[in-house]
Structure 1
Amino acid sequence: MSAPVLSGLPLSGSAASQLLDRVAADPAAPLLAVVGAPGGYGKTVLLRHLADAYRGAGVPVDGPWPPRTLTAEHALLIDDAHRLSPEQLADLSEHASRPGARIVVAYRSWPRCPELLRLIEVLRRGGPSVVLPAFTIGQVATFLAAHLPAAPSAELTAFVTEQTAGIPRYVARMADALAHTPAAAPHVPVAALAPFAAELDELDLDVRTLLLAVEAGAGLSFDLVAAVLGEATDVADLVEAGRATGMLAADGTLVPLARRAIAALGPISQRIDVRQRLAARQLARGGPVLPLVRPLLRVVTGPGLVPGAAGSGLGPVYEAAGEEALGDDPALAAELFEAAAGAGRTTAARRALAVALAGDLDHASRLTDQVLSAGTPEQRAEAAYVAAAVLAHRGQTAQAVRLFEWAGSDVSAGFAAVGLAATGRLPEAERLIRADDPSAQPPTSLSAAATLMARGTAESVTGSPSTALSTLVQAATVIAPAGPTALLPDSPSAIGALLAMHCNELDVAESLLTRAGLQGTGGALLATRHHLLTSWVLLLRGRLDEVEQRLPATVGAAAPEGRDNLFGTALRVGLARRNGDLVGLRSAWPDACQALIGQPVELFNLLPLGELAVAAARLGEFHRVAGHLAEADRLLAELGDPPLWAVPLHWYRLQAAILADDRDTARRHADRLDAARASGAWATAYADAAAVWLDVLAGRADPEPVLAAARTLSLAGLTWDAARLAGQAAIRTSDRKAMALLLESARAMQGSGARPEQPATSAPARTTPAGPQLLSAREREVGALVLAGMTYKQIADRLYLSAKTVEHHMARIRQRLGCADRHELLTRLREIIGDPESNA
């Protein structure tokens, strides 16, 4: 049925309509009726309809009780009968018992007294008992259509129904507010909440306290509510009183619109007090306190207020809430620990931990310095661990090791051993690993992971790569449940991925990093590292388009610090070099040099060092990396030249020597690679490729060994290196048949790396109508690289062609376009292909 409206208020329910029809049909007939519903369901509106019906028929209407004049001809309409005194209710019951009486009484279910129950029983025996229901969604739609400027959408109707629970008074408030504040998306206007202010003020103090407790999250937990109201309070009676207001639903939840209003309009001092009492009780019984404390944080620590000063003894509550928030929202945890400190708790070390997990390393360092200089022994140990982790993220591993050792826990000892091995102090690392005593402290997943990381790192130096990798995979599995809650100097997934990349186990590296990302290992602080290392795996695979797509998320405007900055800048350098983008390489080089200067050499940053060595040779600035390479040689020598870590660096330095045309240095590194070939198939692949490179440099580009070595590299995942070897061999051979075979193989390997066809330095092609017909796809590609500023030799290296072939392509282009000189040729190419700089 449609909802009749009086004075802007809706009315619903078939029983109400039947009562109105009965009065309209025979207004003179005796009538006893009772109307019951919580507030807001339209009891008063129904009585007004009845009054209009009686008066329209000439029947006088009286009410409230006791009326000034009352005769047998009068109809008696009584609203809010629950507010009458027992004496008034008794008199009313007596009047209802008289023959011919016409009485309709409306009431709420609470407060309830015997006299009210007796009156209801009398009325029910003589006539209908009307229960006013909430609107259906169809009735809400009908009401909104009658009151809004435009027909309501299904989305708006559903939203209003959900917010109001279909309670007619609340539907009317929403409709009125929406009519005056239209918006594209469904929302709750402030005007819809304003009328609740007076209603909340009129409530009994205990009822309002109950509603505030439910809004805070207590629900109908009687012991929590009793903690706020007092043990002597009858909570069950108060719940009934709350339901009678209409704000509290039958299931004990607040109507959403009422919840918003209570949160916005409830007396702030009472709201704070209620939440503090609830939180104290929750803490005492071991329940969660964060949902209770979170909304108060901005209030309690607002302008002019001292954190924690809104109540005494709340420090433990804020501290417990901070511990709950630590894993999901460390920034919030830091604020809560600060509030706890304002309430008298000593939480500086925990706050430093939260700040570090949130990624603010500078702030974390300042906090740990304060604790280390003035804290208790326990606090200083925790602060030392946090400070060490911060230093590790900044790449200062040797300094981090000192603090880890000083912290004195089994977890910090494990991470200290990892750092010692990474910086060349293997005997000290092994002593720490052997000294691990499981009975000294209760073992945890974090301590077990730290120990496994230490063993895996040591095994990567002294044992087989497969054993070391297996140990680190175990560590990643053990620490997985900790997710983002643990502050780690590095993750087993990151170290395992680095190890896997060094021995060409790229699938394992990618899998480890993917799982770490899904599990949130190390939180936001390690998310960048995992992202960077995943990009590095893609770089090694030759999937340059994917690397380029990931770079904005890797090293954007807010550049990472320390070791992440080194990996990020080296990644840009490596991408530009592999794309043959000399302009991009020169652009990325200063940042990479700056990042390298601030990072001591250790095992875990040999990959970016090797990449920068090749770039330095390409740019003629090898002196920029010579000192770090000498340091790397010393580090590896101290560790006994472990093949896992040494071989890839020799491969990079071989490539650098090739670019610098330094054949003696190239041979020296090729010999080192050959000496390590017994370490495994991955080392053999590098050694075979190095030997072939020496032959290619000497002009002996025999296709069979070249292709064999290139295929081995490709199968190891190093598709870009494989394609480059085959391409360079093709360029250097004079046998045209061998050249064709090698070029075709290079292109096939290049394609297997999923490298984009469009050169990274060229812009999206813009062609004139005649462009496609004038130039072939290969000629347009060559022309785009010429416009990008590349020399014929650079283009040949990029496309795995010979310089003569590139020259031949340019001659054909000039002939097809009919250009007399170079200036005219470049102008025509820009018309056909587009200007790379204008589209960058």
Structure 2
Amino acid sequence: MVSYQSHVQKPAFRHPEQEPQGPAPHSAELMASQLEGENGAVRELLLALSVGFALPGPLPAELQRRIDGDGAGSLDALIQRAESSGLLTPDGTVAGPVQHELLTVAPTTKVHALQRELVTVYAANGQPLGDLARELARAGLADTRVAAELERSGDKALEHDPGLAYQLYDEALLAGSDEKATAARRAQAAAANGDLDAAARIVDTLLVQKDPPDVRRAADVAAAVWAQRGMLGRGADVYRWLGPSRLGPSGPLAAVALIGSGNRADAEALFRADAPPASPTLLATTLAQTGKGILQSLAGDSHQGLQMLIHASDMLNAAGTVLPLPETPAALAALMALHNGEPNLAETICRSAAASGQGGDAAKPRLFLLKAWSAMMQDRLDDARLSINEASKANHWPLVPRDEFLCSALEVGIARRNGDVPGLIKAWERAREATLHTAVDLYSLLPWGELMIAAARLREGRRVSPYLDEAWNLLERLGDPPLWAVPFHWSAVQAALLNERPADLAPHAAALARAAGQSHLAAVFAAAGRAWVTVLAERFHPDDVETAARGLGGVGMRWEGARLAGHAAARSDDRKDMVRLLSCARDLHPQASSAGTGASVPAESRNAPPADTGNAMHPDGAGLSEREKEVARLVLDGKTYREIGEAIYISPRTAEHHIARMRRRLGAENRSDLLAKLRVALGPESQAHD
């Protein structure tokens, strides 16, 4: 006789719908014939084991009474009969098709009654249900004990695995959990997992109710969702609705939203002297440092604020916790570093935060996009594109409106720096659409500054002027903090230069000069602005231009510095000055092989005659060297000699020399004939320049 103690079955209940395979043909009829009459007890045992009871261990009360009434050893006899019939495997597991059929034909009320008995057994032994709770809930069992365990499991997963937490809370609802009581946590899990629509629906339903439970958490989620939708001001409104008495530990997050939307006074009130001290826990300290850091960024010396935010980012990295935040500490620290002319630091911050999973999957795209902006500022355009690709693949959701706007501005910036006019126009259209889905806030000034410059380049200023007015008003409400205002003034200087409107430039140049005493970056920009004005007026001193250009390179703006030096070289009448400025442009701008990037350095910078040399200059089948192809593309874009020189850092005379040689080589009789033959020589490449 087989002893039941040797048969152990893990509690692995499966609902019929979850069984991967159906029963074998005619198994229902076969099982019915096998389990009638005296074998009815075998059926009851197999059903109990299918539900999740295990051997050895307690069995359902009714089955146990039946076994006890049949005399000692009857359980072993039942097990032996089940094994001999092939219904029970030697390890005590009910055969798959049999389990499926038993659960299919048994009355639902009986199955649920057995499931509740099973839950009672677990509770009596102080044993957690584990995955069995999920299976029971999905099978339709409504039991508050199952719901409570699923809620507890969801709570444990919420700050580390929000996707799992969302599933557990949903299963708790199936088991009879209070929908209102778990709403804020479900919304937090949905938002952290990137499902903004689900989070918004849940939290909206909760916040319209009277005295909603867990209201502070719900407000945090609502503010985070509004921020990701590019409407940070609405997030600040949520915290104002919540009121100071209910803010508690969320005060620093409210400060981030308030300052970002231009409300400095209310944010400062949250840090008044009589406010209760923050909890000494890691997370509470992280949030407090975040709020104080962003408030400190409005001061004249923002170094302390940047340090606070870096500390907050490091602590959140260490905690590995996913919280609903308007902005992560890493994103805020990176933005401050970028505004301070430290793109290398911004890149390091973003890389570390992304590797640590700061903010969860929903925060990764923004970190990658800020990393891309850092690379773009340093003129590493290929690296910027790689980071953009990482952002698009960071999770399974499309970019949220805030990140889509940042991404579109990046595309504009890359195309502008590449001298890619067709690409710039295409990127501009995408960015224009993105502006319709977002609003201006303090943390979006960098992309707005890029669009300001691109609008001037494309003569589309009217498209962005209302948004720019909002940005200037926001900065004014915050007291024109140098850290945030200086780069925006520099963008306005560049836009005025492109528009050839000295009157528009004057107030921004004056603002940079005023801030120069507080901000090294402002001093660099002020010098660069003065240099640009003298270059355009053709009354510049090469020493001043080179100093200004290298100053821009020193604050992470190598492309801007090279462009300034290249423009000055193209306007220089003195060969020595021209060669010196071209050499400066070459030093600042990395070498690149792609045509039209402005990366090539002419032979004149090496004091050699204007001739093409080097492997990159070998002619192709059409007789054009790589340098001549660069010039040809710019000719097809309608550029003048001077504009060609400024684009690829050669003098207008050298540009004229290249064009004349191409005309002779191609046998062109006039300009129209030259353009036609250049299109043929460039082939498909020329289509983008038509």
Question: For residues 208 and 609 of structure 1, do their structure 2 counterparts lie closer, same or farther at Cα, with a shift above 3 Å needed?
Answer: same
- Separation (CA, whole Å) in 1 of partners of 2:125 and 2:557: 58
The equivalent position to 1:664 in structure 2, one of 494, 503, 519, is 503
Give unmatched runs, 5+ long, in structure 2: 7-19, 36-41, 599-615
Give unmatched runs, 5+ long, in structure 1: 1-81, 83-108, 114-188, 301-307, 762-766
The equivalent position to 1:433 in structure 2, one of 249, 264, 271, is 271
SS at match of 2:307: helix
The equivalent position to 1:774 in structure 2, one of 619, 623, 639, is 623
- Separation (CA, whole Å) in 1 of partners of 2:583 and 2:513: 28
- Separation (CA, whole Å) in 2 of partners of 1:562 and 1:424: 20
Report the CA distance between 1:499 and its aligned residue.
0.5
Report what 1:412 is aligned to.
250
- Separation (CA, whole Å) in 2 of partners of 1:229 and 1:527: 55
Whether the aligned pair in 2 keeps the contact of 1:539 and 1:547 (CA below 8 Å) is yes
Question: For residues 778 and 320 of structure 1, do their structure 2 counterparts lie closer, same or farther at Cα, with a shift above 3 Å needed?
Answer: same
Is 1:544 the counterpart of 2:381 in the alignment? yes
The equivalent position to 2:473 in structure 1, one of 634, 640, 649, is 634
* Code of the aligned partner of 1:390: V
* Code of the aligned partner of 1:393: Q
Cα deviations by residue, 1:175-202 (Å, 9 ceiling, x for unpaired): xxxxxxxxxxxxxx96999999989998
Report the CA distance between 1:456 and its aligned residue.
0.4
SS at match of 2:297: helix
Report what 1:610 is aligned to.
449
Report the CA distance between 1:597 and its aligned residue.
4.8
Whether the aligned pair in 2 keeps the contact of 1:643 and 1:679 (CA below 8 Å) is yes
Cα deviations by residue, 1:13-37 (Å, 9 ceiling, x for unpaired): xxxxxxxxxxxxxxxxxxxxxxxxx
- Separation (CA, whole Å) in 2 of partners of 1:312 and 1:463: 57
Question: For residues 622 and 110 of structure 1, do their structure 2 counterparts lie closer, same or farther at Cα, with a shift above 3 Å needed?
Answer: same
Question: For residues 190 and 683 of structure 1, do their structure 2 counterparts lie closer, same or farther at Cα, with a shift above 3 Å needed?
Answer: same
Cα deviations by residue, 1:515-558 (Å, 9 ceiling, x for unpaired): 22112222232222112211111111111122234435546997
Give the CA RMSD over aligned residues: 4.4
Report what 2:197 is aligned to.
362
Report what 1:292 is aligned to.
132
The equivalent position to 2:328 in structure 1, one of 469, 487, 491, is 491
Is 1:316 the counterpart of 2:156 in the alignment? no
Whether the aligned pair in 1 keeps the contact of 2:292 and 2:308 (CA below 8 Å) is yes
1:106-255 residue pairs with structure 2 within 5 A?
110=3, 206=45, 209=48, 213=52
* Code of the aligned partner of 2:340: C
- Separation (CA, whole Å) in 1 of partners of 2:351 and 2:465: 35
The equivalent position to 1:457 in structure 2, one of 269, 294, 298, is 294
Question: For residues 735 and 628 of structure 1, do their structure 2 counterparts lie closer, same or farther at Cα, with a shift above 3 Å needed?
Answer: same
Cα deviations by residue, 1:659-709 (Å, 9 ceiling, x for unpaired): 111223334322322222222433332233223222222213433222222
Report what 1:349 is aligned to.
184
Cα deviations by residue, 1:144-173 (Å, 9 ceiling, x for unpaired): xxxxxxxxxxxxxxxxxxxxxxxxxxxxxx
Is 1:340 the counterpart of 2:172 in the alignment? yes
Question: For residues 487 and 260 of structure 1, do their structure 2 counterparts lie closer, same or farther at Cα, with a shift above 3 Å needed?
Answer: farther
Report the CA distance between 1:734 and its aligned residue.
1.5
SS at match of 1:771: coil
Report what 1:738 is aligned to.
577
Report what 1:267 is aligned to.
103
1:779-798 residue pairs with structure 2 within 5 A?
779-786=628-635, 794-798=643-647
- Separation (CA, whole Å) in 1 of partners of 2:367 and 2:490: 24
Higher relative contact order (CA 8 A, sep 6+): 2
Scaled by the length of structure 1, the TM-score of the pair is 0.65
Question: For residues 697 and 335 of structure 1, do their structure 2 counterparts lie closer, same or farther at Cα, with a shift above 3 Å needed?
Answer: same
- Separation (CA, whole Å) in 1 of partners of 2:220 and 2:670: 68
Whether the aligned pair in 1 keeps the contact of 2:300 and 2:482 (CA below 8 Å) is no
Cα deviations by residue, 1:631-665 (Å, 9 ceiling, x for unpaired): 33333233332211111111111111111112233
- Separation (CA, whole Å) in 2 of partners of 1:773 and 1:284: 88
Is 1:650 the counterpart of 2:489 in the alignment? yes
Report what 1:146 is aligned to.
none
- Separation (CA, whole Å) in 1 of partners of 2:493 and 2:146: 64
SS at match of 1:471: helix
- Separation (CA, whole Å) in 2 of partners of 1:196 and 1:632: 73
Report the CA distance between 1:416 and its aligned residue.
0.9
Cα deviations by residue, 1:278-319 (Å, 9 ceiling, x for unpaired): 77777898877563344566x54xxxxxxx555565322332
Report the CA distance between 1:721 and its aligned residue.
1.1
Question: For residues 344 and 548 of structure 1, do their structure 2 counterparts lie closer, same or farther at Cα, with a shift above 3 Å needed?
Answer: closer
- Separation (CA, whole Å) in 1 of partners of 2:327 and 2:272: 21
Report what 1:400 is aligned to.
235
Question: For residues 237 and 690 of structure 1, do their structure 2 counterparts lie closer, same or farther at Cα, with a shift above 3 Å needed?
Answer: farther
Whether the aligned pair in 1 keeps the contact of 2:187 and 2:202 (CA below 8 Å) is yes
- Separation (CA, whole Å) in 1 of partners of 2:220 and 2:274: 18
Identity between Structure 1 and Structure 2 (%) = 36
Is 1:688 the counterpart of 2:527 in the alignment? yes
SS at match of 1:500: helix
Whether the aligned pair in 1 keeps the contact of 2:115 and 2:141 (CA below 8 Å) is no
Report what 2:608 is aligned to.
none
Greater C-alpha Rg: 1
The equivalent position to 1:326 in structure 2, one of 134, 155, 158, is 158
Question: For residues 782 and 278 of structure 1, do their structure 2 counterparts lie closer, same or farther at Cα, with a shift above 3 Å needed?
Answer: farther
Whether the aligned pair in 2 keeps the contact of 1:278 and 1:292 (CA below 8 Å) is no
Whether the aligned pair in 2 keeps the contact of 1:280 and 1:314 (CA below 8 Å) is no
Question: For residues 574 and 770 of structure 1, do their structure 2 counterparts lie closer, same or farther at Cα, with a shift above 3 Å needed?
Answer: closer
Report the CA distance between 1:621 and its aligned residue.
2.1
Q: How many residues align?
A: 631
- Separation (CA, whole Å) in 2 of partners of 1:827 and 1:807: 18
- Separation (CA, whole Å) in 2 of partners of 1:704 and 1:579: 27
Whether the aligned pair in 2 keeps the contact of 1:315 and 1:340 (CA below 8 Å) is yes
Cα deviations by residue, 1:210-263 (Å, 9 ceiling, x for unpaired): 58749xxx9x9x7899999989999x989x98999999898x9x8xxx998799
Report the CA distance between 1:773 and its aligned residue.
7.8
SS at match of 1:409: helix
The equivalent position to 1:476 in structure 2, one of 300, 313, 318, is 313
Question: For residues 541 and 110 of structure 1, do their structure 2 counterparts lie closer, same or farther at Cα, with a shift above 3 Å needed?
Answer: same
Report the CA distance between 1:785 and its aligned residue.
4.2
Report what 1:534 is aligned to.
371
Question: For residues 193 and 678 of structure 1, do their structure 2 counterparts lie closer, same or farther at Cα, with a shift above 3 Å needed?
Answer: farther
SS at match of 2:551: helix
- Separation (CA, whole Å) in 2 of partners of 1:467 and 1:261: 68
Question: For residues 430 and 310 of structure 1, do their structure 2 counterparts lie closer, same or farther at Cα, with a shift above 3 Å needed?
Answer: closer
- Separation (CA, whole Å) in 2 of partners of 1:274 and 1:508: 61
Question: For residues 770 and 670 of structure 1, do their structure 2 counterparts lie closer, same or farther at Cα, with a shift above 3 Å needed?
Answer: closer
Question: For residues 661 and 225 of structure 1, do their structure 2 counterparts lie closer, same or farther at Cα, with a shift above 3 Å needed?
Answer: farther
Whether the aligned pair in 1 keeps the contact of 2:194 and 2:397 (CA below 8 Å) is no
- Separation (CA, whole Å) in 1 of partners of 2:101 and 2:405: 52
Report what 2:16 is aligned to.
none
Whether the aligned pair in 2 keeps the contact of 1:503 and 1:683 (CA below 8 Å) is no
Question: For residues 329 and 272 of structure 1, do their structure 2 counterparts lie closer, same or farther at Cα, with a shift above 3 Å needed?
Answer: farther
Scaled by the length of structure 2, the TM-score of the pair is 0.78
Higher alpha-carbon deviation: 474-483 or 494-503? 474-483
Report the CA distance between 1:491 and its aligned residue.
0.2
* Code of the aligned partner of 2:178: R
- Separation (CA, whole Å) in 2 of partners of 1:452 and 1:583: 45
- Separation (CA, whole Å) in 2 of partners of 1:448 and 1:390: 23
Is 1:378 the counterpart of 2:216 in the alignment? no
- Separation (CA, whole Å) in 1 of partners of 2:354 and 2:267: 29
- Separation (CA, whole Å) in 2 of partners of 1:636 and 1:618: 24
